[in-house]
Amino acid sequence: MSDTDSLIQSARTIRERAYVPYSNFKVGAAIRAASGRVYQGVNVENVAYPEGTCAEAGAIAAMVAGGDTAIAEVAVIADSPLPVSPCGGCRQKLAEFGAGDVPVTLATLDGGRLATTLGELLPGAFDKGYMERA
């Protein structure tokens, strides 16, 4: 099994733990950090709908809590006819910890895949370089 396949399987496995009593739309995410460690996340809904969190944000939080701060690869999976892309906010969150060339695989439960990169998902990302003063 390739590294990407194992990352997708990790996202698929954790997806079952998503808390989605309102939409019933489970999403799982797995991040391989530069250290090689894998961190998982799921979407967590809330009755105050905008207060929920995305699977990617959960995986990022787990990564940071685990002591890593650099993303090497990302996988996201959902039960959808087409691969589901991270929302705009999660694209920015992922860009905080990964370079534009970081591979991202978007997958479906029936085996569909879309390979992309963080840079393709968020061209012109706002980053810490904009915060530097001359």
The type of residue at 1 is M
Query: Whole domain around residue 110: which residue ranges?
Result: 3-131
Number of domains in the chain: 1
Taking only the tens place, the pLDDT of each residue in 14-70 is: 999 999 999 999 999 999 999 999 999 999 999 998 899 999 999 999 999 999 999
In tens, the pLDDT along 67-124 reads: 999 999 999 999 999 999 999 999 999 999 999 999 999 999 999 999 999 999 999 9
CATH number at residue 15: 3.40.140.10
pLDDT value of residue 134: 61
16 given a catalytic annotation: no
51 is an annotated ligand-binding site residue: no
Question: For residue 89, what is the enclosing H or E element?
Answer: helix 88-97
Is 54 flagged in the annotation as binding? Answer: yes
Catalytic residue among 16, 51, 56, 96: 56
- In this prediction the pTM is 0.94
Structure tokens given for 70: 């650099």
How many other CB atoms sit within 10 Å of the CB of residue 131?
Answer: 7
Q: Which residues pair with 43 in a beta bridge?
A: none
